[in-house]
Amino acid sequence: MDKFRESEYAIAVTDFMTPAEIAEVYSNLITRSGSGISRCFFWGGCRGAERCTAVFLPEWYLPEPDAPRHALPLDTARRDVFAAHLCANPDIVNEISIRAIRIRGSGFRELTHRDFMGGILSLGIERSTIGDIAVISEAEALVFALDKIAPYIVSELRKIGRDGVRAELYDCSPDYEIPRRYEAMEIAVSSARLDGVVRALTGKSREAAADMIRAGLVELRYFPTDNVSADVKEGDILSVRGFGKYVIGETEGQTRSGRLKIKCRKYI
């Protein structure tokens, strides 16, 4: 809200936020300042980013006061298009100050998202200054970082694990979309209750799944929940600590025993 107030006369930008924090900011803007949401969009350096900054624009940046409100729905894909359109304006994108960094390994070792993240954070960098890490191949990633920290990463990052790496600033188009890799899954559940879905995704018993939920190890729509009977819907993001993150897809009929068949995708 401080950034929102600062944006009366100039563009104001936060650090990177998690999807849960973004949802909370969005909700607060609607609740506490209905007009504020028309001046806000979330941007992580390119389309499809999950970790984003909140960007607050002065009213005079928006030619039609009502248009952005309709163009900025909760629907992520449409919101990304709107944000990319705004970031085509050099005055706006220069104020956001997000830089893309390309990191390349030797090619002799496979580097995962966790490896790239660990190597960057080992430099003593705060997580809030780093956005998404798009793993392009087993030896290459595109990292989005705040401009104030990007040159430090480029100059200091020389190793990730036991592999030598090279980092360089990269000119990334706002229309670039982060590639996501998934493993397709199909689960069968008696109902779309959270404990049943977690059981099917993890292969654990229903009792073990319920215990994980109550222990705070499960996030639904990026928020922790201890409600074992919460409804899981198509399009939901579900994370289970130690097992992974999943996108819940559509229900495709029933098994012979009457169980629901649900298509899912697991982030890899």
pLDDT in tens, 134-186: 999 999 999 999 999 999 999 999 999 899 999 999 998 888 888 888 899 99
Asked whether the whole model's pTM tops 0.85, one would answer no
Pairwise CA distance, residues 147 & 165, whole Å? 20
Percent of residues, the chain, with pLDDT higher than 70:
90
Q: What does the domain layout of the chain look like in residue ranges?
A: 2-94, 98-170, 182-267
CATH for 98-170 (2.60.120.10, 3.30.70.330, 3.30.420.40, 3.40.50.620): 3.30.70.330
Query: Which residues share a beta bridge with 125?
Result: none
Query: Which residues share a beta bridge with 238?
Result: 220, 246
Q: What is the CATH number of domain 182-267?
A: 3.10.290.10
- Per-residue pLDDT tens digits for 28-63: 777 666 556 678 889 999 888 999 999 988 887 765
